[in-house]
Amino acid sequence: MTKYLLIIGLALLLTGCAATAPGRLYTNVIRPHSTDFHVTPVGTKRCVLDEHRVKEPVSGYGVAVEWSTDLICSEAQKAGITNINYTEIQTLSILMGTYRRRRLIIHGD
């Protein structure tokens, strides 16, 4: 019995960082939609739109609930943005995607 526990312990110890890939437990990343920022103005205003998803990870049936605010032009107008300079997307994921929030960040004037 101790032999098996020792083998399991060594396996867990040796695979420590490799057993969980980066981002499996928690991820919070912001990426631009475009990388061509040659003379792109930063903008003075910002608007944020959220998309949320909660997924049941145990049964394997893929049960998920999603909700979002996807009225880009309306939300930009509410923030006073008339000229969109660039957009970014932020992804927050917890426990292998059990909860995920994607956020569209709009920068402009």
Task: Identify the pLDDT of residue 20.
Answer: 43
Residue-wise pLDDT for 66-83, tens only, equals 888 767 778 888 888 888
3-state secondary structure of 62: coil
Give the model's pLDDT for residue 22.
52
Phi/psi of residue 82, nearest 5 degrees: -110, -20
Q: Which ranges of 1-109 does DSSP label H, i.e. alpha helix?
A: 2-14, 16-19, 72-78
pLDDT given for residue 98 in this prediction: 87
Mean pLDDT by 10 residues, the chain (109 residues): 72 51 75 78 84 86 82 82 87 87 88
